[in-house]
Amino acid sequence: MVKRTILIAGLGLIGGSIAKAIKQSNEHHILGYDVNEPTVQYALTNGIIHEGYQRFSEAAEKADIIILAAPISETISLLQQLQQIAFTKDVIVTDVSSVKGPVMEAANKIENERISFIGGHPMAGSHKMGIEASKAHLFENAIYVLTPSHRCKEGKVEILKDVLKHTKCKFVVLNPTEHDEMTGVISHFPHLIASSLVQQAKKWEKKHNYLPNLAAGGFRDITRIASSNPKLWQDIFYHNREKLSALLSEWIDEMKYVKGFIDNNRKEEMITYLEQAKKYRDGLPTKEKGAIPSFYDLYVDIRDQPGALASVVLLLANKNISIKNIEILEIREGITGVLRLSFYTEETQKASLDILLHHGYEAKIIQ
């Protein structure tokens, strides 16, 4: 075990989560820097970092590994600042940006011999932002993409992996272009669609002001990510604009094709379209958190009465079962609602199903 000094620049959701995961291991010394001084204070007070800094260069000079976890435009600017530092030892620099092309372009221009840059992107996150939302286990079983730059010295990727292994992620090396195309399809474009669905509902609310009350499980599931940080996503869309623009054109054509089924009641073609989508969606990897995070979910019907939620939680707590997340779906006053309980393992998911069925609850696992 080699104890290294790791600087995390940008202590938000992602930087804070990486800091927590690495600090838990007690293996390394963690420095933190953020433009927002209260964030650094929060990280220190809550034991997320060992030392806090207000000047980036001062912290960078002390580090063996620098993790840039700020928004993409800021990450590129921090990278350019590193170029000017006269490091007295070799340093590995990585980032966490959701788009890799522009960051790698900036990294490949670096002429500082001491810097080995390896692009990084943990494929997990949340619609929440800031250090308060950070979690040590955010990246557990998630895919962590690495994109080494032209000037990355031998052995450095292995050192970086050794430090990041505390996030419990799974590494994959991709080139920036394939990364940006795939994340465009699987992450960035879906985000745009989620926001557009919400915009559509907002327009229709002018006609039917009761409409938001009908927003049940389906609408909420498909639009959760529309609640994310708008500035962060504008930055992502901007940096992956070419891929997004192409996907948007493809989507518009596809929707015209679908409109043909609907307008002309081409029933069989519509069913085939839906069947193919269902088959592909059902076949996505479900045992791991990946590009599409999956949890071990259990759905429980409950009535909206005082104590209904507490009773379910208590039943499971009595059997020492930890619940990862609880969400109440489509519950309205006096009417049956649905609880979605997420578990860490398939075993606890199944055990919870048995317990709840045994106590007369209507519960099910939907694959």
Ligand X SMILES: NC(=O)c1ccc[n+]([C@@H]2O[C@H](COP(=O)([O-])OP(=O)(O)OC[C@H]3O[C@@H](n4cnc5c(N)ncnc54)[C@H](O)[C@@H]3O)[C@@H](O)[C@H]2O)c1
**Angstrom distance (rounded) from CA 65 to CA 160:** 8
**Angstrom distance (rounded) from CA 244 to CA 286:** 26
CB of 127 to ligand PRE, least distance (A): 4
Q: Which stretch binds ligand PRE (CB under 6 A): 121-129, 145-153, 171-179, 311-319?
A: 121-129
Where does 69-137 show beta strands of DSSP type E? 91-95, 115-122
User: Can residue 67 be called a binding residue for ligand X (CB under 6 A)?
Assistant: no
**Angstrom distance (rounded) from CA 67 to CA 7:** 6
User: Can residue 180 be called a binding residue for ligand X (CB under 6 A)?
Assistant: no
> Is 149 or 228 the residue whose CB approaches ligand PRE more closely?
228
CB of 134 to ligand X, least distance (A): 8
The DSSP code sequence of 287-314 is SS-SSS---EEEEEEEESSTTHHHHHHH
User: Can residue 192 be called a binding residue for ligand PRE (CB under 6 A)?
Assistant: no
> Is 42 or 189 the residue whose CB approaches ligand PRE more closely?
189
Site string for ligand X, 123-152 (x = CB under 6 A): --xx--xx----------------------
Select from 29, 127, 168, 340 the one that contacts ligand PRE (CB under 6 A): 127
CB of 238 to ligand X, least distance (A): 11
Q: What is the distance in angstroms between the CA of the first residue and the CA of the last residue of the chain?
A: 41
Hunting for tokens 């891929």 — which residue is that? 243
> Which residues have a Cβ under 8 Å from the Cβ of 163 and sit 6 or more positions away?
4, 6, 22, 28, 65
> Is 40 or 123 the residue whose CB approaches ligand PRE more closely?
123
> Is 16 or 52 the residue whose CB approaches ligand PRE more closely?
16
Select from 126, 149, 223, 240 the one that contacts ligand PRE (CB under 6 A): 126
User: Can residue 79 be called a binding residue for ligand PRE (CB under 6 A)?
Assistant: no
Q: Which stretch binds ligand X (CB under 6 A): 95-103, 104-112, 174-182, 192-200?
A: 95-103
> Which residues have a Cβ under 8 Å from the Cβ of 138 and sit 6 or more positions away?
13, 14, 17, 21, 122, 124, 125, 126, 167
Burial of 310 (0-12, 13-18, 19+ CB in 10 A): exposed
251 near 202, Cβ under 8 Å?
A: no
Q: Which stretch binds ligand X (CB under 6 A): 31-39, 157-165, 243-251, 324-332?
A: 31-39
> Which residues have a Cβ under 8 Å from the Cβ of 30 and sit 6 or more positions away?
6, 7, 8, 19, 22, 23, 48, 49, 50, 51
CB of 295 to ligand X, least distance (A): 16
CB of 365 to ligand PRE, least distance (A): 21
User: Can residue 71 be called a binding residue for ligand X (CB under 6 A)?
Assistant: yes
Which residues here bind ligand X, judged by CB under 6 A?
9-15, 33-36, 39, 69-72, 74-75, 78, 96-98, 121-122, 125-126, 129-130, 229, 232, 236
Which residues here bind ligand PRE, judged by CB under 6 A?
98, 123-127, 187, 225
